[in-house]
Structure 1
């Protein structure tokens, strides 16, 4: 019977993944490696516990589709819009160069023209699933290099959706059916998602938001609805689920929905990686080892090189460009769907599918280790990247030349929390320097005459120009764990007497910062609770206090929102004028 087979298959998949993940955790290895190895053991290429290829494909497709839905929900397009030129330049350069390299390598290895086209496209796309998961684990989704990487991935996804739509109908006759029709269908589905997110979904989700179960079920129904529409149009269900997530991503309830389905996201991510291992066939790979090595080198080296080259020349720091590019060195889940489409059309053989699966597994595992040890890898390439950085268009990114101070305060990160601290420092009339990785923020601060510098607090050159040895207080509103640890260590070496205040998102990280020598750790949620408690106490003493505080708060929020909108849409000169206006 079909149902028991599926249930037993799921039990085997989850059980084996759990066991090997536990072993990997004890050995302090990436869990992705455990999931893939579990799939290899239980799949047709291992012990053959699950040998039904249809079951393997169902697990893979369902895992990809659902995870892409969650990714669509979580991606904030507004954060990427600010670096749109960089994303477009680096992304298009990477796509073109990688495709040409992959196509040329395929022809060199003796593959036919159409197979070479498929393989060129396969090597072009990076895994949104893997990159988002790893950046989220390191709390780097909102960093500059994280935003650049996500932006390039979104551009790749658009191209991948177009390629999927075209190649799925490759066997059809005529330009209309091969290219125009599937592209029109994909565009129509996108328009439908955007229109629904503006007209239908807001009142609908507002109604469901009163009940979390209804909100959860409505989000899942939306995902399955678009997957069904995509399937009926002859498109991949992954396209439908991804566009469904993009539609919900623009709603004010997107983070709540993402939180509700976080468990399902992790579950389906596990299914994807296990099913990836199940697709490996050692028999098919025995004669394809040279091709696997060459394609892996292309993905791991050529693809990141094309990205780091463009991002650095556009004026970003070499560290930022390196971190944004190194995360892209793997094959995408869309690539696996492309290959499955080619096999289904009879264009590609099963051996090509095994080849691509092997390259995907190897590059994903390698990327996991590369991201874990990216600081050490950067040290090895820092010198040539520094030379490239000096040749870049530095006028695109303001640098800022801080005046030398003594007994000053260093503020790292001028986000919303940093903005409030900055205003306090101004009112104290105490010497201070601001460092930030957002070029728009630095440009605004420079135009206002605020001492500032563009750069990363983990960059030794930046820390030298901040004159840490002469500083009295160092405040970091940056939430990246590694950045704050490095900052604490640098300050303790240069100036043991300075006070170091850093920011953490959870208790364990905060305790770790204290062990490294932080004087105080900001926990935003805990501080918010303490602030509310103080407000309540003050309001008991003075019943009019809360009303006055409310009006002041509204004015401040409107001012901050106006600055964010101006930074996103207006020229710099208008932003300067607006900042000088009273709120």
Structure 2
């Protein structure tokens, strides 16, 4: 290799004798360089690290080769990543997962596994290789998808909440698969592994309770809580290993054990840098282990990518429609899920360490993951254009039974004075305060669960997508005096303003904006009043501070009660 020749000429040790410290140093330097480049390209850091490994590894420069020490450091990286994943799996998040999300998550994984097994059986793959293929195809990236939703301020939208719930189901399936993947994979071995995992969970619960007072005392010292957390992490990992499970499983349950801890935020803050460091080592080493793919594997790679980026999103769209959601919600949910997961990378790395898959097979799966992750950002950024094209063919999906298409109550010929778009946060609080004739009000929402509860409370409501022409025709027909939109989307609010004002210029339109810039634009488009929650919060803070000075306990108690009432108003109709 040219690089090797240059290094040796400079008087440095030959590549084969480079110290592990020098290798790690090169890995971190290259990881930093490519992380910066990929930041400018708006690509995930995971891909930057893998590319850095490819450059350093046998495929390009050949400076670093995989060895036992780097593999050991990679396992530590897996341990830290799964420890943090465990910290996010707490009881509250599990309680928020709706039936529809569970249905979509379970059926999506099951159907994609069946499709993968059926297609790739023709490629003369072993049973264990087929299992790894199925997992790579079925799982989507929690890290990339949540980052994309957050960047677009869509985490709180209906499709955002559904996606997060589906990803949580997928993560649980991935952890279960990780527990079942042992040196010998068959039904008996899998059942034994699950049995061991169950015993380990009992042991972990006991250990977590014993650790509580230790963390309470350690929290007083920043240095001590870091060391205790690391001790806790490795104690769980070593305990899992002694139970015959992987170190990764122990790390995950160490995180789960601390997920509801009072000191969770402090723990994450202290260990965050170590996770980033060892995570970089993990993904760089993953790139180092990649080999050249032979020409007879190209078709395998192309089909793999097609399943991940085309078939899987379409399946999620169909399942979401069957769950009773609109075309738009179904499309957006599927559009975000067209990539493989970082959990897939962890799973296939474990498979390589266990000797269950070859380097070439490993390389194909990693390249499929890299390509799908790289293209995700572009696919999501073109969602409007894709949805426009998709909507032309969506009539084919009308044949898919949607359970809630006819969710409507109280939509008679009588004119509605007020139409409320969106009844999740601000909308539900408005509804609670509304004292007028409910028959003069109409709520439009694209969440079927909300519409069902409104129907129970006998509040006139209509299930529909805000962008659906039929909804706008209804709006035009009813000719309301006041239209209140609590939708955060600027584009949808502009459409609502245009429709209302075109129909009757004197009608009042109140909308919500996420920023001052958006609010000014909405005023120019014809809105009569624009609510900017952040500005309203800022203006009201002085009154709150004055009240707190008088009686902070009373203010706090009153606010908590109001929030609880607003939160439970729709979903606990029988409770006062």
| TMscore range, shorter length | 0.7 to 0.9
Q: Which of 34, 37, 40 is 1:19 aligned to? A: 37
Q: How does 1:264-283 map to 2 (within 5 A)?
A: 277-281=287-291, 283=292
Does the Cα contact within 8 Å between 1:458 and 1:486 map onto a contact in 2? no
Cross-structure match for 2:321:
312
CA distance in 2 between partners of 1:464 and 1:262 (Å): 52
- Which residue pairs with 1:300 in the alignment? 309
2:27 corresponds to: 9
2:237 match = 227
1:342 to 2:381 alignment? no
Q: Answer whether contact 1:442 1:452 (CA < 8 A) is retained.
A: yes
Q: Alpha carbons of 1:257 and 1:345: their partners in 2 closer, same or farther (altered >3 Å)?
A: closer
Q: Following the alignment from structure 1 to structure 2, what is the Cα–Cα distance between the partners of residues 77 and 278? A: 38
Distance 1:78 1:321, change over 3 A: farther
Deviation at 1:285, TM superposition (A): 4.7
Which whole-Å CA distance do the structure 2 matches of 1:553 and 1:536 have between them?
13
What is the DSSP-based 3-state SS (H/G/I as helix, E as strand, rest coil) of the residue aligned with 2:462? strand
* TM-superposed deviation, 1:229: 3.2
What RMSD over aligned residues (CA atoms) do the two structures have, in Å? 4.0
Q: Please point out which of 555, 577, 583 is paired with 2:574.
A: 577
* Whole-angstrom distance in 1 between the partners of 2:522 and 2:52: 37
| Paired residues for 1:130-149 under 5 Å | 130-149=144-163
Which residue in the other structure is 1:237 paired with?
247
> Which one of the candidate residues 412, 424, 431 is aligned to 1:414?
424
* Alpha-carbon distance in 1 for matches of 2:219, 2:406: 42
Alignment of 1:421-570 (within 5 A): 421-426=430-435, 432-467=441-476, 470=480, 472-476=482-486, 478=487, 484-495=489-500, 498-504=508-514, 509-515=515-521, 517=523, 520-524=530-534, 527-537=536-546, 543=550, 549=555, 552-553=558-559, 555-557=561-563, 559-560=565-566, 567=571
1:288 is paired with a residue whose SS is helix
> How far 1:196 moved relative to its partner?
6.3
**Equivalent runs, 1:77-156 vs 2, <5 Å:** 78=92, 81=95, 83-156=97-170
Residues 480-534 of structure 1: CA deviation (Å, up to 9, x unaligned) = xxx5122232134324565443253xxxx5434544657535334x544543421
Unpaired segments of 5 or more residues in structure 2? 1-18
The secondary structure found in structure 1 opposite 2:125 is: coil
Paired residue secondary structure (1:453): strand
Moved more, 359-368 or 449-458: 449-458
Match of 2:258 in 1: 248
Equivalent residue for 1:571? none
Determine if contact 2:419/2:444 at 8 Å carries over to the other structure. no
Q: Which residue of 1 aligns with 2:300?
A: 291
Change (3 A) 1:132 1:513: same
SS at match of 2:340: coil
TM-score by length of 2: 0.79
Contact 1:308–1:325 under 8 Å retained in 2:
yes
Give the Å deviation of 1:206. Answer: 6.0
Tell me if structure 1 keeps the 8 A contact 2:34–2:51.
no
- Hey, what does 2:6 align to over in structure 1? none
Quick one: structure 1 residues 34 and 548, their matched pair in 2 at CA, closer, same or farther if it must change by over 3 Å?
closer
Larger C-alpha radius of gyration, 1 or 2?
Answer: 2
Distance 1:274 1:396, change over 3 A: farther
Q: How many residues align?
A: 547
User: How far apart, CA to CA, are the structure 2 residues paired with 1:84 and 1:131?
Assistant: 19
Which residue matches 2:13?
none
8 A Cα contact 1:414 1:422, kept in partner: no
User: Which of 174, 188, 191 pairs up with 1:180?
Assistant: 191
Distance (Å, rounded) in 2 between the aligned partners of 1:88 and 1:391: 19
Unaligned runs of 5+ in 1: 568-574
The answer (yes or no) to whether the contact 2:415–2:480 under 8 Å persists in 1 is yes
